[in-house]
Amino acid sequence: MSPTDTAASQALTSQQVVDLTRQYNYGTWRFQRNWNPMHIADAEGCYLIDGSGKRYLDFSSQLMCSNLGHKNQAVIDAIAHQAQQLSYAMPGYATTARAELSQLLAEILPKGLRKFFFTTSGTEANEAAFKIARMYTGKSKIIARYRSYHGSTIGSIAATGDPRRWAMEPGGKGPGVIFAPEVNCYKCPIRHTYPGCNIACADYIEHMIRNESDVAAVLVEPIVGTNGVLVPPDEYMPKLRRICDENGVLLIADEVMTGWGRTGEWFAMNHWSVIPDILVTAKGITSAYVPLGLCATSEKIAEFFQDHFFSHGHTYEAHPITLAPAVACIHEMQRLNLVERARELAPYVEAKLNDLKSKHRSIGDVRGKGLFWAVDMVKDRTTKEPFNTYADKVSGKSLVVDQIAAKMLADGVTIQAWVSHFVIAPPLIVTKEEIDRGIATLDKHLTIADEA
Ligand code: PLP
């Protein structure tokens, strides 16, 4: 057992920790039978430390959320201080933590997003956004896109356009969500080629709005996260903003994964100077030290609720112990210039990944922004056929990317392997040497795919 593990857990061996976890908990998005969770006893900076003391470079910031890295003392102090000061007050009260974070958010969020609803997850923040959009517009439909992920509850999974949704239908089918084609220039679903297409996938959304009527909002991940780090062409978001404005529809940006410096801007929408009507975020807002989600709305929406009933709320909404560390986290990101750092390291990562692509025929595409990249794996570069699909995953087949990730883990690097691609998204404090090590470890094991 790691010497730094907590005193309270000293009585348990690593094997007992694993066994008890497996015995009494569900492993998510997987079959239970072969779940063998690793005991994480400690973590610092960009590293996780297992029960035997072995260190792992975290090359995807866990679930793309540990942006600041582990054991940041200022954040730890903020949690401890808040716990001593005021551990809970119901959401109807004002608290110092809430006031301080709100003031900071008003400075950092895209201009005009000025009224906040705090949750404890990205999923709940999306649920809030959908309800607010429906209350504000009096309309019911949400246009989401294929290859998007917005959460795992009934409402948010219904708005999710990725295969995790199909796996649970019909329960996953929520009312009022319709899907538009994703923006995916590598594998365009409508067989167009950029720039000749003139962003036809955005025009199709306008076609949907006009034909459907009753559309409250268009919901987008500005850069699609788990489903492939899909970066839209620069014209896409401004065009979507115009379409929404001209048709009286709200634009919701789900920045749960792309917010907080991940893409080299505080928020991905900043890349295109587009301000959504509602911005949803979580993960990096506290670098996952504590669970916090945020649904931020525009002034016009805020104004509407002056005289309309705001019919939403949670017991743990605006929980002080979730808010105080967010303030510390944002200050630490500013002190360490982490947004600029992600932007500056992007060309370095891109060049390294392109080198990797030139060596391995199993890589079809590399793409990303800031410290948020996908390595898209294909059987054949001409057909772009992936090695696996989600259907393989839910049928229990061994996935090529999982085989590679397992080898990398044995070599001390953790990476998110998502069906047919890897997500490279280290903590924003990562060094060039650590980037080199992570990519070299991927390089070493890509032969599994090259030879598959
Ligand atoms: N939206 C996006 C874009 C996400 O990537 C995620 C989680 O990965 C969610 C929503 C759901 O957030 P949470 O897991 O905090 O509920």
pLDDT, tens digit (0-9, with 9 covering 90-100), for 402-438: 999 999 999 999 999 999 999 999 999 999 999 999 9
Q: What is the pTM of this model?
A: 0.96
Q: How far is the CA of 150 from the centre of ligand 1 (A)?
A: 5
Task: Look at residue 91 in the predicted model and tell me its pLDDT.
Answer: 96
**To test the ligand 1 pocket, which listed residue (165, 256, 295) has its Cβ within 8 A of the most ligand atoms?**
256
**How far is it, in rounded angstroms, from Cα 37 to Cα 51?**
12
Evaluate whether 425 touches 371 at the Cβ level (below 8 Å). Answer: yes
Where does ligand 1 bind, in terms of residues with CB under 6 Å? 63, 121-123, 126, 149-151, 221, 225-226, 254, 256-257, 282
**How far is it, in rounded angstroms, from Cα 259 to Cα 300?**
23
**How far is it, in rounded angstroms, from Cα 262 to Cα 332?**
15
Instruction: Profile the chain (452 residues) by mean pLDDT over runs of 10 residues.
Output: 50 96 95 95 98 97 98 98 98 98 98 97 98 97 95 90 74 78 94 95 97 95 96 98 98 98 98 98 98 98 98 97 98 98 98 98 98 98 94 90 98 97 98 98 96 89
Atom of ligand 1 nearest to the CA of 291: 15
Evaluate whether 183 touches 190 at the Cβ level (below 8 Å). Answer: no
DSSP 320-353: HHHHHHHHHHHHHHHHTTHHHHHHHHHHHHHHHH
pLDDT, tens digit (0-9, with 9 covering 90-100), for 370-413: 999 999 999 999 999 999 998 898 888 999 999 999 999 999 99
ipTM, interface predicted TM-score of the complex? 0.99
**How far is it, in rounded angstroms, from Cα 89 to Cα 322?**
12
**Collapsing DSSP states into helix, strand and coil, what is residue 210?**
helix
- Tokens matching residue 233: 């062409």
**How far is it, in rounded angstroms, from Cα 229 to Cα 168?**
24
Which sign, positive or negative, has the C-alpha torsion 365, 150, 121, 24? negative
Q: How far is the CA of 19 from the centre of ligand 1 (A)?
A: 28
pLDDT, tens digit (0-9, with 9 covering 90-100), for 248-307: 999 999 999 999 999 999 999 999 999 999 999 999 999 999 999 999 999 999 999 999
